[in-house]
């Protein structure tokens, strides 16, 4: 028998408004939505709690954190994937684009190896076995300052659920780390680099950008089209960089670092995504533009949890407070990312949509999750 779930007497959050009502789920989809505080027999009385679509995460480093919980400590991939999946479900995220780096450097001070193809295979096998609670897609982070990017990109195909490919250029002295002292502090703190190590690291990355950068950008654009994936830019800083992104056909900008870049993105019709930790902490840890400043300038469209999964719901609620509009705030973590990623079956409360849902109430000024459903199944 097909399971039925009715959530009644809830504050339903639609893309443009909130209103008291109920919704009925049959199987994996929303079958009916009604207004009013009536609680039918057999329904869950939500007692006025907010009910909104499940959150959609386009860029998270969380899976990488699970497979390598500390520098040089590797964790079994299947266990890491299942733990990551459960953690996201527990924070209200029901769709995730798992970020995986492609492009490696086999030698030198900036040395790191490849891992994405094997990790993706294990993740997709777990998904096929119905071992995961939420919906997973791949987000390939294409590192242009690398040696093996072309070969690693060609290991993926249309069958791999590659939803996003982002062009990552971490050349020291520009984009995220245009203030090279910020990069120096980060690398010395995380990797215990000496002064000489850091200088060699910078020289190596700049050399790789000079040797491979343009070729890698062209190949990344080409492969993203073959996958049928959305192409994203990363850390655009200048209007000129945004113009290049637009020329590539990019329609999603991850974490632009200046107001100038964010404004240029909107002029080109590119959606601006900012990190939730930036918003919650009140600024960027790299010294770049504050997410709240972009929100107040109406230049912020989407939020990403980045490296703190629980930050996604909190940031969407905070944006609702900044704008005085809860529906608009929640939209930045639901419908806006769904549209940016080309997902038409989720992201809004509507009849026929996937029953990816969460219920929360406010406690001490922060959202407290009460329940999460993925495809109509209670997962947290």
What is the rounded average pLDDT of the residues 205-210? 68
Give the pLDDT confidence of 74-125 residue by residue, as tens digits.
999 999 999 999 999 999 999 999 999 998 887 765 566 899 999 999 999 9
Residue 366: what pLDDT?
96
CB atoms within 10 A of CB 350: 14
pLDDT band at 169 (very low <50, low <70, confident <90, very high): confident
What is the rounded average pLDDT of the residues 269-295? 93
Going by the DSSP 8-state scheme, the letter that residue 112 receives in this structure is: B
What is the rounded average pLDDT of the residues 306-318? 97
Domain ranges of the chain: 1-53+346-380, 55-342
Q: Classify strands 252-254 and 271-275 as parallel, antiparallel or unpaired.
A: parallel
Give the pLDDT confidence of 20-47 residue by residue, as tens digits.
999 999 999 999 999 999 999 999 999 9
The residues with which 24 forms a beta bridge, in sequence order, are: 6, 32
Per-residue CA distances from 216 to 124, 220, 256 (Å): 26, 6, 21
Residue 108: what pLDDT?
63
147 vs 255 pLDDT, higher one:
255
Residue 334: what pLDDT?
98
Going by the DSSP 8-state scheme, the letter that residue 322 receives in this structure is: H
Report the distance separating Cα 354 and Cα 375, nearest Å.
Answer: 6
User: Smallest Cα–Cα separation from 250: which of 235, 276, 259?
Assistant: 235
Predicted TM-score of the model (pTM): 0.91
Report the distance separating Cα 115 and Cα 97, nearest Å.
Answer: 17
Give the pLDDT confidence of 232-249 residue by residue, as tens digits.
999 999 999 999 999 999
Per-residue CA distances from 183 to 115, 209, 287, 322 (Å): 24, 17, 11, 31
pLDDT exceeds cutoff 70 at 177 = no
> Could you identify the residue written with the tokens 């209670």?
378
Coil, strand or helix: which one is 68? coil
pLDDT exceeds cutoff 60 at 174 = yes
> Could you identify the residue written with the tokens 């386009």?
58
Report the distance separating Cα 189 and Cα 203, nearest Å.
Answer: 19
What kind of architecture, by CATH, is found in domain 1-53+346-380?
Answer: Roll (2.30)
Joined together, the tokens standing for residue 268 give 């080109």
Cβ burial of 192 (10 Å; 0-12, 13-18, 19+) is: exposed
> Could you identify the residue written with the tokens 């780096």?
101
- CATH superfamily entry for domain 55-342: Metal-dependent hydrolases (3.20.20.140)
Interior/surface letters 196-212, b for 16+ CB within 10 angstroms, e for the rest = eebeebbebbbebbeeb
Joined together, the tokens standing for residue 280 give 């919650």
- Look at phi and psi of residue 259 and say left if phi exceeds 0, alpha if psi is from -120 to 50, else beta: alpha
């Amino acid at each position: 028998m097909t399971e039925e779930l009715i959530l009644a007497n809830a504050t339903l959050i639609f893309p443009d408004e909130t209103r008291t009502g109920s919704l009925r789920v049959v199987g994996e989809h929303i079958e009916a939505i009604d207004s009013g505080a009536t609680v039918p027999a057999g329904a869950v009385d939500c007692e006025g709690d907010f009910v909104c679509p499940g959150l959609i995460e386009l860029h998270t480093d969380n899976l990488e954190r699970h497979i390598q919980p500390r520098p040089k400590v590797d964790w079994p991939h299947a266990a890491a994937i299942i733990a990551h999946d459960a953690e996201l479900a527990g924070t209200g995220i029901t769709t995730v684009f798992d970020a995986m780096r492609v492009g490696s450097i086999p030698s030198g001070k900036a040395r790191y190896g490849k891992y994405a193809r094997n990790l993706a295979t294990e993740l997709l096998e777990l998904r096929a076995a119905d071992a995961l609670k939420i919906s997973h897609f791949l987000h390939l982070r294409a590192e242009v300052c690398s040696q093996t990017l072309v070969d690693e990109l060609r290991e993926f195909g249309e069958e791999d659920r590659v939803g996003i490919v982002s062009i990552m250029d971490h050349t020291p002295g520009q984009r995220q780390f245009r203030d090279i002292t910020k990069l120096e502090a980060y690398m010395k703190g995380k990797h215990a680099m000496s002064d000489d190590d850091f200088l060699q690291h910078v020289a190596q990355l700049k050399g790789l950008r000079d040797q491979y950068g343009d070729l890698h950008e062209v190949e990344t654009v080409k492969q993203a089209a073959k996958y049928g994936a959305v192409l994203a830019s990363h850390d655009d800083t200048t209007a000129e960089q945004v113009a290049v992104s637009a020329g590539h056909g990019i329609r999603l900008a991850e974490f632009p670092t200046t107001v100038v870049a964010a404004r240029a993105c909107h002029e080109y019709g590119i959606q601006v995504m900012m990190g939730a930790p930036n918003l919650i902490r009140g600024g960027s840890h790299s010294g770049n533009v504050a997410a709240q400043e972009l929100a107040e300038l109406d230049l912020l469209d989407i939020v990403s949890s980045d490296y703190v999964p629980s930050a996604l719901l909190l940031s969407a609620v905070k944006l609702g407070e900044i704008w005085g509009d809860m529906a608009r705030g929640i939209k930045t973590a639901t419908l806006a990312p769904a549209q940016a990623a080309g997902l038409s079956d989720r992201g809004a409360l509507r009849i026929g949509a996937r029953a990816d849902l969460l219920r929360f109430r406010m406690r001490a000024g922060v959202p407290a999750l009460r329940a999460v459903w993925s495809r109509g199944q209670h997962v947290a």
